[in-house]
Amino acid sequence: MKNRLLWPLLALAALLLLNLIVTPSFFSLRMQDGALYGGLVDVLKNGAPTLLIALGMTLVIATRGIDLSVGAVAAIAGAVTCVHIGTSGSAGTAIAGMAIALVLCAVLGLWNGFLVAGLGIQPIIATLVLMTAGRGVAMLVTEGQIVTVNNTAYKQVGAGFLVLPISILISLLVLGLVAFVTRKTALGMLIEAVGVNPEASRLAGVRSRTIIWTVYVFAAVCAGIAGLMISSNVSAADANNAGLWIEMDAILAVVIGGTSLAGGRYSLTGTLLGALIIQTLTTTVYTIGVAPEVTLVFKAVVVIAVCLVQAPKARAALSFRKVAVPS
Amino acid sequence: MTPPLNEPPPPVVEMRGISLAFPGVKALQDVDFRLFPGEVHALMGENGAGKSTLIKTLTGVHRPDGGQVVLGGDEVAFSSPGEAQHAGISTVYQEVNLCANLTVAENILLGREPRRFGGIDFPAMRKRAGEVLARIGVHIDPGSSLGEHPIAVQQLVAIARAIAVDCRVLVLDEPTSSLDAGEVAELFRIMRVLRDEGVAILFVSHFLDQVYEISDRMTVLRNGSLVGEHLTADVDRRTLIAQMIGRDLGALEAIEDAAEKRHPDGPVLLHASELGRRGAIDPFDLEIRAGEVVGLAGLLGSGRTELARLLFGADRADSGRLVVDGKPLRLRGPRSAIAAGIAFSSEDRKGEGLVADLSIRDNLVLAMQAARGWTRPLPRRTKDQLVEKYLKALDIRPANPDALVRTLSGGNQQKVLLARWLVTEPRLLILDEPTRGIDIGAKAQIQQLVTTLAAEGTAVLFISAELEEVVRISDRIVVLRDRRKIAELDGSVTGVDEVVELIAGGAAPEKVVS
């Protein structure tokens, strides 16, 4: 386990070091009005939605699945909440709006689970349906406009501080919860069993369908909360751009964290590291002033490098010694 | 033993003393094999006998640990299937390995397309493909896309691809398993054409009628060893089956004494009446008592696994009733069977049994944990006690609960799978080929375990390709042939010969090829 996380950890350290060299003030923190500010805090705050979505994605990927719809689901959550809040400034309306949005997200997760576990459609196709249709739903909800709200309570979710940004506290809380639930109950083991060998698990009496269904609902709820953070941070719902391509970042975070896309064993700590790497990378692009037109190329190069150093074959080539590669 | 022709040509392939071991299994032991030009040679043996391993050794997939392969008089050591093909050994596998979206011609010449000006010369390619197809008398348009044709024609295209290169040896691994009688006849016609051209054909099939129709000579393997090489005309079905199923005494004699024949008279645990599933197994009646070992005997494809899967709910029955403990039981899936105390250890350890990337501990408790549901995890201490108990009881090595099951030898994997079900304390344990492909020591331990379990009151349904083994440990033997239950014998008085007689039972009329 330690070994598996070593490379992501080194990659993160290297990225942070690069930032420190370019911007010596990157690590400095300051307190202002009971809130912590600084480059590191920014990384955490901006990375919170990605981390949250990556957590849901980790469990989905562990069952051999994938969920492409999370970005669209995030947009729907933001849209529903903002439309519900409208011009109201009351905390009650905000909470009710968020509750409605999350319940809706759970229903969307049920839909994904139905397509994958119920009808047996390939996950990448099944969730592609909602990935494209979901944006349309969000457009319908917002009637094609960018809906802005002015609600202090809602603003707290994505932009508020309790010393640390509230968004990252929420994400870490969910991380803790998932870690606790999957490792203290048998859920984690059963998820892995289903991911490694669905047929053997079925014959051992595992309720594979229920488990697959559960992880898609969980992923959708995570996406919903992330959508609330994104929308709350700017006090607006943008059906087109909220959470755009965040599914790709989340999948990358999971893969960088060492969970195989082939399903099976997963690592939540790895996903945490992966999400931090992705966000630090995005921040780095700005701090070191990479030209905007090559930003994506730069990100791609770093991601490929991180994935390569994790591959046994590449490492063998790097260290010039023979490593047993299972054929 | 004389080759089919009066003046025997030298063998095109001669394998001498081939041995190959995988971790924990001796897949091939000192096997000799000869293949003559212009003959159809059937390679016979039950599952795990080493047929495919021997073929893969010939075609360069595996490298033997010992022995030599001589091709056309020269010793060869292929390190890849490509090299073997280059040397004139072509293989057609059971599943068609072609690209359905390409044309017939492209498939036949894939990787060796005729070229012109740096591009592919399509007219020349179609012409060459047409010539190859004509050689085996298949008249289809080489420019048509492969996917338009039925599987049987695709199989013929695969053969055309195999002989498009200069091919001295053609290996056909179960080519008939998805063909109907007319298509089989067409395939055989082509095989005869090639044979008469001097190609040596190695043919694997578990349909005895087909083997007797097409082959000139056969080699029989059992448990990775050579049993015999015969002219097909010289050996009758009964002898052949007896050789395939075999007598494997010696190391297992100890078990025989332990398993004195008993007459269990426990209460009836399970009663199936007219239970069946179309295309899998004809409706059958079966009664199993507590503490009884019921053996299922039959050849591969006789319906023994299918019967077991129905009793476990792995497949749903479409006729008949099942009564457990005097109460009717509708099996909606494995979960309802497990709840009724039925356990099923599949013959396909890797595919349907173990979760290879999880630890021994997780695999051991999987069935029990699944029955409890994820919200009620087994306490760590209970888990450790169970794991420790079964690691010791079944002598699983390494005795490290954290070792990944993937890294274990076949015998130890089988024991882990067994232990997973023993943990649930089943009342009926269905063991499908629990001793296949594992070494003799582990085999003896598992047989011993079955006897002990039965003595303690567990009912066991025991399936094995090895008849010796079934006869030795069963109190009652159910004989299957062609997906039908044909007899039920008292295990205490039945001998292997009697069962062989039933299984052979002459030609099965519906499988005779025109």
For B12-46, what is each residue's pLDDT tens digit?
999 999 999 877 667 899 999 999 999 999 998 87
- For residue A320, name the pLDDT band (cuts at 50, 70, 90): low
Residue B1: the pLDDT is: 44
Distance from B477 to chain A by nearest Cα, in Å? 25
Highest averaged pLDDT of the listed ranges B119-123, B160-164, B308-312: B308-312
Judge whether residue B95 has pLDDT over 80: no
Q: Do A200 and B369 touch (CB under 8 A)?
A: no
Domains of chain B: 13-245 (3.40.50.300), 249-341+427-435+455-514 (3.40.50.300), 349-425 (no CATH)
**Backbone phi, psi, residue B433, to 5°:** 50, 55
Residues 6+ apart with CB under 8 A from B410: B22, B23, B24, B25, B349, B437, B438, B439, B442
Q: Look up the ipTM and state it.
A: 0.82
Residues 6+ apart with CB under 8 A from B52: B173, B204
Q: What is the DSSP pairing of strand B200-204 with strand B169-173?
A: parallel
Using a CB-CB cut-off of 8 Å, the residues of chain A touching B353 are: 200, 203
Distance from B189 to chain A by nearest Cα, in Å? 39
Q: Are B487 and B308 in contact (CB under 8 A)?
A: no
Judge whether residue B299 has pLDDT over 70: yes
Residue B265: the pLDDT is: 76
Judge whether residue A194 has pLDDT over 90: yes
- For residue A326, name the pLDDT band (cuts at 50, 70, 90): very low
| Tokens 């006897």 belong to residue | B451
Judge whether residue B247 has pLDDT over 70: no
In the predicted model, what is the mean pLDDT of residues B504-512? 47
Computed over every residue of chain A, the mean pLDDT equals 90
**b or e along A306-324 (b: 16 or more beta carbons within 10 Å of the residue's beta carbon)?**
beeebeeeeeeeeeeeeee
H-only helix segments in B79-207: 81-86, 104-108, 122-135, 151-164, 181-196
Judge whether residue A4 has pLDDT over 80: no
Residue A141: the pLDDT is: 95
Residue B508: the pLDDT is: 41
Q: What angle do CA B24, B49, B29 make, to 5 degrees?
A: 60
- For residue A19, name the pLDDT band (cuts at 50, 70, 90): confident
Residue B7: the pLDDT is: 60
Statement: A2-319 belongs to CATH 1.10.3210: no
Percentage, residues of chain A above pLDDT 90: 67
Ordered by start, the domain boundaries in chain A are 2-319
Judge whether residue B204 has pLDDT over 60: yes
Residue B207: the pLDDT is: 74
- pLDDT tens per residue across span A202-237: 999 999 999 999 999 999 999 999 999 999 999 999
Residue A192: the pLDDT is: 95
Distance from B378 to chain A by nearest Cα, in Å? 8
Using a CB-CB cut-off of 8 Å, the residues of chain A touching B374 are: 185-187, 190, 211
Q: Do A190 and B357 touch (CB under 8 A)?
A: no
B356 touches A at CB < 8 Å: yes
Which of A109-118, A179-188, B371-380, B430-439 has the lowest average pLDDT? Answer: B430-439
Distance from B334 to chain A by nearest Cα, in Å? 6
Residue B477: the pLDDT is: 93
| CA atoms of A74 and A68, how far apart (whole Å) | 11
Q: Do B374 and A199 touch (CB under 8 A)?
A: no
Cα within 13 Å of Cα(B249), Cβ side: 3
Q: Do B358 and A189 touch (CB under 8 A)?
A: yes
Cis amide bond preceding B150, omega within 30: no
Percentage, residues of chain B above pLDDT 90: 45
Percentage, residues of chain B above pLDDT 70: 90
Judge whether residue B189 has pLDDT over 60: yes
Computed over every residue of chain B, the mean pLDDT equals 85
| CA atoms of A85 and A95, how far apart (whole Å) | 9
B102 touches A at CB < 8 Å: no
In the predicted model, what is the mean pLDDT of residues B204-216? 85
Q: What residue of B is the nearest CA neighbor of A192?
A: B358
Using a CB-CB cut-off of 8 Å, the residues of chain B touching A211 are: 374
Residue B185: the pLDDT is: 87
| CA atoms of B358 and A9, how far apart (whole Å) | 25
Which of A137-151, A251-265, B72-86, B175-189 has the lowest average pLDDT? Answer: B175-189
Longest CA span, chain B: 82
Residue A11: the pLDDT is: 87
Reduced to 3 states (helix: H, G, I; strand: E, B; else coil), residue B479 is strand
Q: Least CB-CB distance to A204: which of B375, B378, B420? A: B420
